[in-house]
Amino acid sequence: MSSTETVLPKLLVVEPDFMLRSIIIGVVREMGLAQPQEALSVERAEQALAEGHFDAVLIALNEDGATVKLLERLRGGHFVCPAETLVAVTAQHCDADMALRLRELDVRRLLLKPFKVKGVIETIGGLFTAPAATA
């Protein structure tokens, strides 16, 4: 890599659906938005966060609460990955209590399914450009 080459931010994509995950990863890579790494489950994500640094995480909200627990551990500084890492969440459903909890966990964006991949890509781009956002 040359000294003038831009270093892309690192993005962890946690999404159980293979096709959706593959498309997001492919588009992020093709557009040069970030260096994406994929994880198909919260367990795999935990391992990735424990081992490396990420600038942002896009994670699907797990119905059994595992995603929230993971974010609590991230914000609590339990991983190698910095506690202040940018986070966006995708979800099938989200009630007011969950939205409040995600806000407390400093989730920058919440995307409710069904959504367009284009919206996800715009969200990822926005994570790296906008200093503040709403859940």
Partner 1 sequence: MRPAPALQVRRMRPIKNLLYASLQAPPSDMTPAHQPPNEPARLQALRALLILDTPPEERFDRIVAFAASEFDMPIALVSLVDGHRQWFKSRVGLADCETPRDVSFCAHTILASALFIVEDALLDSRFADNPLVTGAPNIRFYAGAPLHAPGGERVGTLCLLDQRPRTLDAIERAILGTLCRLVEEQLAHPVAS
Residues of the shown chain interacting with partner 1 in the complex, contacts defined by CB under 8 A: 19, 22-23, 26-27, 30-31, 116-118, 121-122
Comparing C-alpha atoms, which of 69, 6, 19 is closest to residue 43?
Answer: 69
In whole angstroms, the minimum distance from the beta carbon of 5 to partner 1 comes to 20
Choice between 48 and 120, CB closer to partner 1:
120
Choice between 71 and 124, CB closer to partner 1:
124
In whole angstroms, the minimum distance from the beta carbon of 43 to partner 1 comes to 22
In whole angstroms, the minimum distance from the beta carbon of 124 to partner 1 comes to 10
Choice between 67 and 90, CB closer to partner 1:
90
Query: Would residue 52 be called left, alpha or beta, if left means φ above 0 and alpha means ψ between -120 and 50 degrees?
Result: beta
Helices in the chain by DSSP H: which ranges?
Answer: 18-31, 42-51, 66-75, 96-104, 117-129
Q: What is the SS3 assignment for 64?
A: coil
Choice between 71 and 127, CB closer to partner 1:
127
CB 28 within 8 A of CB 8: no
Residues paired with residue 59 on neighbouring β-strands, in sequence order? 14, 89
In whole angstroms, the minimum distance from the beta carbon of 112 to partner 1 comes to 16
